[in-house]
Chain A
Amino acid sequence: MAQPRLTSLSRLFARVGVTVFGGGDPTIAILQREFYQREWLSPEKFAIAFGLARLTPGTNVLAFCAAAGWYIRGLPGALAAVLAITIPASVLVVWLTRAYDLTTRYPLALSIANALVAAAVGTMVGAAVLLVRSQLKRGRWIRPIVISTGAFLLAYVIKLSPLQVISVAAVAGFFWPES
Protein backbone atom coordinates (compact mmCIF):
# COMPACT_ATOMS: atom_id res chain seq x y z
CA MET A 1 0.00 0.00 0.00
CA ALA A 2 1.22 3.53 -0.78
CA GLN A 3 1.92 5.88 2.15
CA PRO A 4 0.85 9.42 1.25
CA ARG A 5 2.12 12.67 2.76
CA LEU A 6 -0.02 14.20 5.48
CA THR A 7 -0.83 17.14 3.20
CA SER A 8 -2.17 14.80 0.50
CA LEU A 9 -4.18 12.92 3.12
CA SER A 10 -5.61 16.16 4.56
CA ARG A 11 -6.43 17.48 1.10
CA LEU A 12 -8.45 14.36 0.23
CA PHE A 13 -10.42 14.38 3.50
CA ALA A 14 -11.09 18.12 3.29
CA ARG A 15 -12.31 17.83 -0.29
CA VAL A 16 -14.60 14.89 0.50
CA GLY A 17 -15.82 16.69 3.65
CA VAL A 18 -17.16 19.66 1.72
CA THR A 19 -18.35 17.97 -1.47
CA VAL A 20 -20.22 14.84 -0.36
CA PHE A 21 -23.81 15.38 0.69
CA GLY A 22 -26.25 12.96 2.31
CA GLY A 23 -24.46 12.17 5.59
CA GLY A 24 -21.77 9.76 6.69
CA ASP A 25 -22.52 6.67 4.60
CA PRO A 26 -21.95 8.24 1.17
CA THR A 27 -18.87 9.96 2.60
CA ILE A 28 -17.41 6.58 3.61
CA ALA A 29 -18.25 5.05 0.24
CA ILE A 30 -16.64 7.92 -1.67
CA LEU A 31 -13.57 7.69 0.55
CA GLN A 32 -13.42 3.97 -0.19
CA ARG A 33 -13.35 4.70 -3.91
CA GLU A 34 -10.59 7.25 -3.43
CA PHE A 35 -8.52 4.92 -1.19
CA TYR A 36 -8.67 2.06 -3.68
CA GLN A 37 -7.79 4.27 -6.63
CA ARG A 38 -4.77 5.62 -4.74
CA GLU A 39 -3.94 2.23 -3.10
CA TRP A 40 -3.86 3.80 0.37
CA LEU A 41 -5.96 1.20 2.24
CA SER A 42 -6.57 -2.51 1.62
CA PRO A 43 -10.16 -3.86 1.42
CA GLU A 44 -9.48 -5.88 4.61
CA LYS A 45 -8.44 -2.85 6.67
CA PHE A 46 -11.25 -0.81 5.18
CA ALA A 47 -13.76 -3.45 6.35
CA ILE A 48 -12.29 -3.47 9.88
CA ALA A 49 -12.32 0.35 10.11
CA PHE A 50 -15.91 0.40 8.84
CA GLY A 51 -17.10 -2.31 11.22
CA LEU A 52 -15.46 -0.82 14.32
CA ALA A 53 -16.63 2.69 13.45
CA ARG A 54 -20.21 1.42 13.58
CA LEU A 55 -19.61 0.29 17.16
CA THR A 56 -17.91 3.52 18.27
CA PRO A 57 -20.08 6.12 20.06
CA GLY A 58 -20.68 9.42 18.30
CA THR A 59 -20.66 10.16 14.60
CA ASN A 60 -19.63 6.91 12.89
CA VAL A 61 -18.04 8.51 9.85
CA LEU A 62 -15.62 10.49 12.02
CA ALA A 63 -14.56 7.31 13.86
CA PHE A 64 -14.09 5.72 10.45
CA CYS A 65 -11.90 8.65 9.33
CA ALA A 66 -9.82 8.38 12.51
CA ALA A 67 -9.35 4.63 11.88
CA ALA A 68 -8.51 5.05 8.19
CA GLY A 69 -6.08 7.89 8.97
CA TRP A 70 -4.52 5.74 11.69
CA TYR A 71 -4.04 2.82 9.32
CA ILE A 72 -2.57 5.08 6.62
CA ARG A 73 -0.28 7.39 8.67
CA GLY A 74 -0.59 6.46 12.37
CA LEU A 75 -1.77 8.95 15.01
CA PRO A 76 -0.85 12.06 12.93
CA GLY A 77 -2.88 10.55 10.10
CA ALA A 78 -5.89 10.03 12.37
CA LEU A 79 -5.72 13.63 13.62
CA ALA A 80 -5.21 15.04 10.12
CA ALA A 81 -8.12 13.01 8.72
CA VAL A 82 -10.61 14.06 11.42
CA LEU A 83 -9.56 17.72 11.43
CA ALA A 84 -9.54 17.96 7.63
CA ILE A 85 -12.94 16.38 7.16
CA THR A 86 -14.63 18.42 9.91
CA ILE A 87 -13.13 21.93 9.92
CA PRO A 88 -14.13 23.14 6.42
CA ALA A 89 -17.53 21.40 6.70
CA SER A 90 -18.09 23.01 10.14
CA VAL A 91 -17.32 26.48 8.77
CA LEU A 92 -19.85 25.80 6.03
CA VAL A 93 -22.51 24.61 8.47
CA VAL A 94 -22.11 27.78 10.56
CA TRP A 95 -22.54 29.83 7.39
CA LEU A 96 -25.57 27.74 6.42
CA THR A 97 -27.07 28.26 9.89
CA ARG A 98 -26.88 32.00 9.32
CA ALA A 99 -28.15 31.72 5.74
CA TYR A 100 -30.81 29.07 6.37
CA ASP A 101 -33.72 31.50 6.09
CA LEU A 102 -32.54 32.33 2.54
CA THR A 103 -33.55 28.87 1.31
CA THR A 104 -37.09 29.45 2.48
CA ARG A 105 -37.26 33.02 1.13
CA TYR A 106 -35.48 32.67 -2.24
CA PRO A 107 -36.82 30.20 -4.84
CA LEU A 108 -33.43 29.98 -6.59
CA ALA A 109 -31.76 28.76 -3.38
CA LEU A 110 -34.60 26.26 -2.91
CA SER A 111 -34.22 24.99 -6.49
CA ILE A 112 -30.48 24.41 -5.95
CA ALA A 113 -31.08 22.73 -2.58
CA ASN A 114 -33.67 20.38 -4.16
CA ALA A 115 -31.25 19.41 -6.95
CA LEU A 116 -28.50 18.73 -4.39
CA VAL A 117 -30.80 16.51 -2.31
CA ALA A 118 -31.72 14.53 -5.45
CA ALA A 119 -28.02 14.09 -6.28
CA ALA A 120 -27.36 13.03 -2.68
CA VAL A 121 -29.97 10.25 -3.01
CA GLY A 122 -28.36 8.95 -6.22
CA THR A 123 -24.93 9.18 -4.58
CA MET A 124 -26.11 7.22 -1.54
CA VAL A 125 -27.53 4.35 -3.59
CA GLY A 126 -24.49 4.36 -5.89
CA ALA A 127 -22.24 4.35 -2.84
CA ALA A 128 -24.11 1.37 -1.36
CA VAL A 129 -23.56 -0.57 -4.59
CA LEU A 130 -19.88 0.41 -4.60
CA LEU A 131 -19.46 -0.70 -1.01
CA VAL A 132 -20.63 -4.23 -1.78
CA ARG A 133 -19.05 -4.49 -5.24
CA SER A 134 -15.56 -3.56 -4.07
CA GLN A 135 -15.56 -6.43 -1.57
CA LEU A 136 -16.90 -9.07 -3.96
CA LYS A 137 -14.62 -11.86 -4.93
CA ARG A 138 -15.18 -13.85 -8.06
CA GLY A 139 -17.89 -16.43 -7.53
CA ARG A 140 -18.51 -15.37 -3.92
CA TRP A 141 -21.51 -13.12 -4.18
CA ILE A 142 -24.21 -14.98 -2.19
CA ARG A 143 -22.98 -13.94 1.28
CA PRO A 144 -22.64 -10.21 0.46
CA ILE A 145 -25.98 -10.05 -1.35
CA VAL A 146 -27.86 -11.96 1.38
CA ILE A 147 -26.37 -9.88 4.23
CA SER A 148 -26.83 -6.48 2.55
CA THR A 149 -30.37 -7.29 1.40
CA GLY A 150 -31.21 -8.71 4.83
CA ALA A 151 -29.88 -5.55 6.51
CA PHE A 152 -31.96 -3.39 4.18
CA LEU A 153 -35.12 -5.37 5.03
CA LEU A 154 -34.40 -5.33 8.79
CA ALA A 155 -33.93 -1.56 8.73
CA TYR A 156 -36.56 -0.51 6.21
CA VAL A 157 -39.34 -3.04 6.73
CA ILE A 158 -38.90 -4.27 10.32
CA LYS A 159 -37.57 -0.84 11.45
CA LEU A 160 -34.69 -2.13 13.56
CA SER A 161 -32.20 0.55 14.64
CA PRO A 162 -28.83 0.70 12.81
CA LEU A 163 -27.07 -0.65 15.91
CA GLN A 164 -29.45 -3.63 16.06
CA VAL A 165 -28.97 -4.34 12.35
CA ILE A 166 -25.18 -4.17 12.71
CA SER A 167 -25.33 -6.52 15.71
CA VAL A 168 -27.39 -9.06 13.74
CA ALA A 169 -24.93 -8.79 10.83
CA ALA A 170 -21.95 -9.28 13.16
CA VAL A 171 -23.51 -12.46 14.60
CA ALA A 172 -24.35 -13.68 11.08
CA GLY A 173 -20.79 -12.92 9.96
CA PHE A 174 -19.40 -14.89 12.89
CA PHE A 175 -21.48 -18.00 12.27
CA TRP A 176 -21.37 -17.79 8.45
CA PRO A 177 -17.64 -17.72 7.68
CA GLU A 178 -16.34 -16.77 4.27
CA SER A 179 -15.56 -19.77 2.09
Chain B
Amino acid sequence: MNLVVLYLLLVKATLTSFSGLASLPMVRNDFVIHRHVLTDRQLNTAVAAGRIGPGPLGIYVVSVGYLAGGVPGACAGWLAMITPAFLIIPMLRFLGARAEHPRARAVARAVLFAGAGLMASAAAPLARDAITGPLSLAIVLASFILIAITRVDSLWVMLGAAVIGVLAFQF
Protein backbone atom coordinates (compact mmCIF):
# COMPACT_ATOMS: atom_id res chain seq x y z
CA MET B 1 0.00 0.00 0.00
CA ASN B 2 1.25 3.49 -0.89
CA LEU B 3 2.78 5.04 2.24
CA VAL B 4 1.29 8.50 1.66
CA VAL B 5 -2.20 7.03 1.26
CA LEU B 6 -1.61 4.89 4.35
CA TYR B 7 -0.57 7.95 6.35
CA LEU B 8 -3.51 10.03 5.08
CA LEU B 9 -6.05 7.33 5.88
CA LEU B 10 -4.68 6.85 9.39
CA VAL B 11 -4.33 10.56 10.11
CA LYS B 12 -7.92 11.09 8.92
CA ALA B 13 -9.01 8.48 11.47
CA THR B 14 -6.95 9.94 14.33
CA LEU B 15 -7.91 13.55 13.57
CA THR B 16 -11.60 12.77 13.70
CA SER B 17 -11.52 10.95 17.03
CA PHE B 18 -10.99 12.16 20.58
CA SER B 19 -9.65 9.07 22.31
CA GLY B 20 -7.43 6.08 21.61
CA LEU B 21 -9.80 3.48 20.15
CA ALA B 22 -12.46 5.92 18.90
CA SER B 23 -10.74 5.88 15.49
CA LEU B 24 -11.30 2.12 15.17
CA PRO B 25 -14.62 2.24 13.22
CA MET B 26 -13.09 4.54 10.59
CA VAL B 27 -9.94 2.43 10.33
CA ARG B 28 -12.03 -0.70 9.87
CA ASN B 29 -14.18 1.02 7.28
CA ASP B 30 -11.17 2.14 5.22
CA PHE B 31 -8.79 -0.80 5.65
CA VAL B 32 -11.10 -3.81 6.00
CA ILE B 33 -14.36 -2.96 4.24
CA HIS B 34 -13.43 -0.59 1.40
CA ARG B 35 -9.81 -1.33 0.50
CA HIS B 36 -9.45 -4.94 1.75
CA VAL B 37 -5.91 -4.22 2.93
CA LEU B 38 -6.49 -5.95 6.27
CA THR B 39 -8.80 -8.67 7.54
CA ASP B 40 -10.88 -8.34 10.70
CA ARG B 41 -8.54 -10.85 12.33
CA GLN B 42 -5.51 -8.67 11.55
CA LEU B 43 -7.31 -5.61 12.88
CA ASN B 44 -8.08 -7.51 16.09
CA THR B 45 -4.41 -8.47 16.36
CA ALA B 46 -3.44 -4.79 15.98
CA VAL B 47 -5.88 -3.74 18.73
CA ALA B 48 -4.75 -6.58 21.02
CA ALA B 49 -1.06 -5.74 20.48
CA GLY B 50 -1.85 -2.13 21.36
CA ARG B 51 -3.73 -3.17 24.49
CA ILE B 52 -1.25 -5.67 25.90
CA GLY B 53 1.71 -3.38 25.36
CA PRO B 54 2.54 -0.19 27.23
CA GLY B 55 1.60 3.28 26.01
CA PRO B 56 -1.69 4.79 24.82
CA LEU B 57 -4.46 2.65 23.33
CA GLY B 58 -4.20 4.75 20.16
CA ILE B 59 -0.83 3.12 19.49
CA TYR B 60 -2.71 0.35 17.70
CA VAL B 61 -2.51 2.51 14.53
CA VAL B 62 1.25 1.76 14.46
CA SER B 63 0.37 -1.91 14.42
CA VAL B 64 -2.21 -1.29 11.66
CA GLY B 65 0.47 0.50 9.65
CA TYR B 66 2.87 -2.39 10.19
CA LEU B 67 0.34 -4.99 9.06
CA ALA B 68 -0.58 -2.90 6.00
CA GLY B 69 2.93 -1.83 4.94
CA GLY B 70 5.67 -3.48 7.02
CA VAL B 71 8.17 -1.34 8.94
CA PRO B 72 7.71 1.71 6.61
CA GLY B 73 3.96 1.34 7.19
CA ALA B 74 4.56 1.29 10.97
CA CYS B 75 6.48 4.58 10.59
CA ALA B 76 3.54 6.06 8.65
CA GLY B 77 1.19 4.85 11.41
CA TRP B 78 3.43 6.38 14.07
CA LEU B 79 3.45 9.71 12.22
CA ALA B 80 -0.35 9.62 11.88
CA MET B 81 -0.64 8.91 15.61
CA ILE B 82 1.52 11.84 16.73
CA THR B 83 0.43 14.47 14.15
CA PRO B 84 -2.79 15.64 15.91
CA ALA B 85 -0.99 15.97 19.27
CA PHE B 86 0.77 19.14 18.14
CA LEU B 87 -2.57 20.92 17.55
CA ILE B 88 -2.54 21.62 21.28
CA ILE B 89 0.38 24.06 20.96
CA PRO B 90 -1.51 26.80 19.04
CA MET B 91 -4.35 26.27 21.52
CA LEU B 92 -1.94 26.87 24.43
CA ARG B 93 -0.48 29.91 22.67
CA PHE B 94 -3.97 31.30 22.14
CA LEU B 95 -4.89 30.70 25.75
CA GLY B 96 -1.68 32.34 26.99
CA ALA B 97 -2.40 34.64 29.92
CA ARG B 98 -6.12 33.86 29.68
CA ALA B 99 -5.29 30.46 31.18
CA GLU B 100 -4.36 32.19 34.44
CA HIS B 101 -7.89 33.59 34.81
CA PRO B 102 -9.54 32.04 37.89
CA ARG B 103 -12.58 30.96 35.84
CA ALA B 104 -10.36 29.23 33.24
CA ARG B 105 -8.42 27.48 36.00
CA ALA B 106 -11.68 26.38 37.62
CA VAL B 107 -12.84 24.86 34.30
CA ALA B 108 -9.47 23.14 33.75
CA ARG B 109 -9.51 21.67 37.23
CA ALA B 110 -13.12 20.49 36.82
CA VAL B 111 -12.09 18.72 33.60
CA LEU B 112 -9.18 17.14 35.45
CA PHE B 113 -11.46 15.82 38.21
CA ALA B 114 -13.81 14.47 35.55
CA GLY B 115 -10.77 12.78 34.01
CA ALA B 116 -10.22 10.94 37.27
CA GLY B 117 -13.84 9.76 37.21
CA LEU B 118 -13.45 8.65 33.59
CA MET B 119 -10.30 6.77 34.51
CA ALA B 120 -12.12 4.88 37.24
CA SER B 121 -15.00 4.08 34.84
CA ALA B 122 -12.51 2.75 32.27
CA ALA B 123 -10.87 0.57 34.93
CA ALA B 124 -14.19 -1.00 36.01
CA PRO B 125 -14.86 -3.22 32.95
CA LEU B 126 -11.14 -4.01 32.70
CA ALA B 127 -11.24 -5.16 36.33
CA ARG B 128 -14.03 -7.63 35.55
CA ASP B 129 -11.77 -9.31 32.98
CA ALA B 130 -8.59 -8.98 35.01
CA ILE B 131 -9.77 -10.32 38.38
CA THR B 132 -10.05 -14.03 37.81
CA GLY B 133 -9.08 -15.24 41.32
CA PRO B 134 -7.40 -14.34 44.62
CA LEU B 135 -3.97 -13.85 43.02
CA SER B 136 -5.10 -11.36 40.40
CA LEU B 137 -7.17 -9.54 43.06
CA ALA B 138 -4.04 -9.32 45.24
CA ILE B 139 -2.08 -7.89 42.28
CA VAL B 140 -4.79 -5.26 41.67
CA LEU B 141 -4.84 -4.21 45.35
CA ALA B 142 -1.06 -4.20 45.73
CA SER B 143 -0.50 -2.13 42.60
CA PHE B 144 -3.26 0.28 43.67
CA ILE B 145 -1.62 0.80 47.10
CA LEU B 146 1.87 1.13 45.65
CA ILE B 147 0.79 3.78 43.13
CA ALA B 148 -1.69 5.75 45.27
CA ILE B 149 0.13 5.73 48.60
CA THR B 150 3.85 5.11 48.10
CA ARG B 151 6.45 6.62 45.78
CA VAL B 152 7.43 3.30 44.23
CA ASP B 153 8.20 3.67 40.52
CA SER B 154 5.52 2.20 38.22
CA LEU B 155 8.32 0.29 36.46
CA TRP B 156 8.82 -1.84 39.58
CA VAL B 157 5.08 -2.38 39.95
CA MET B 158 4.91 -3.78 36.40
CA LEU B 159 8.09 -5.83 36.73
CA GLY B 160 6.80 -7.24 40.03
CA ALA B 161 3.52 -8.21 38.37
CA ALA B 162 5.41 -9.92 35.52
CA VAL B 163 7.50 -11.91 38.04
CA ILE B 164 4.32 -12.96 39.87
CA GLY B 165 2.92 -14.06 36.49
CA VAL B 166 5.99 -16.28 35.95
CA LEU B 167 5.82 -17.68 39.50
CA ALA B 168 2.08 -18.35 39.19
CA PHE B 169 2.78 -20.38 36.05
CA GLN B 170 5.63 -22.34 37.68
CA PHE B 171 3.73 -23.25 40.85
Which A residues fall within an 8 A CB radius of B? 15-30, 33, 37, 44, 46-67, 70-71, 75, 78, 82-83, 85-87, 89-90, 92-94, 96-97, 100, 103, 107-108, 111-133, 135, 143-144, 147-156, 162-163, 165-166, 168-170, 172-174, 176-178
Contact = CB atoms under 8 A, between A and B. Distances in A.
Contacts of A30: 147, 154
Contact of B49 (A54, A58, A100, A155): A100
Interface of B: 14-20, 45-46, 48-50, 52-60, 62-63, 66-67, 71, 74, 77-78, 81-89, 91-92, 95, 99-100, 102-124, 126-127, 129-132, 136-137, 139-149, 151, 153-155, 157-158, 160-162, 164-166, 168-169
The prevalent SS among residues of B at the interface is: helix
A115 B168 contact: yes
17 contacts: A19-B154, A23-B122, A25-B122, A47-B105, A50-B108, A57-B14, A61-B56, A62-B56, A62-B82, A65-B85, A86-B82, A118-B137, A126-B144, A169-B113, A173-B108, A173-B110, A174-B106
Nearest to A19: B155
Contact of B143 (A52, A83, A122): A122
Nearest to B70: A94
A130 B48 contact: no
A49 B111 CA distance: 10
A20 B159 CA distance: 11
Max chain B CB contacts within 10 Å: which of A24, A30, A46, A71? A24
Nearest 8 CB-CB pairings of A with B? A173-B110, A58-B84, A151-B117, A122-B143, A126-B147, A115-B165, A169-B114, A59-B58
B114 to A, nearest CB: 3
Contact of B63 (A37, A97, A150, A166): A97
A121 B161 CA distance: 12
A165 B19 CA distance: 13
Contacts of A122: 139-147, 157
B114 A151 contact: yes
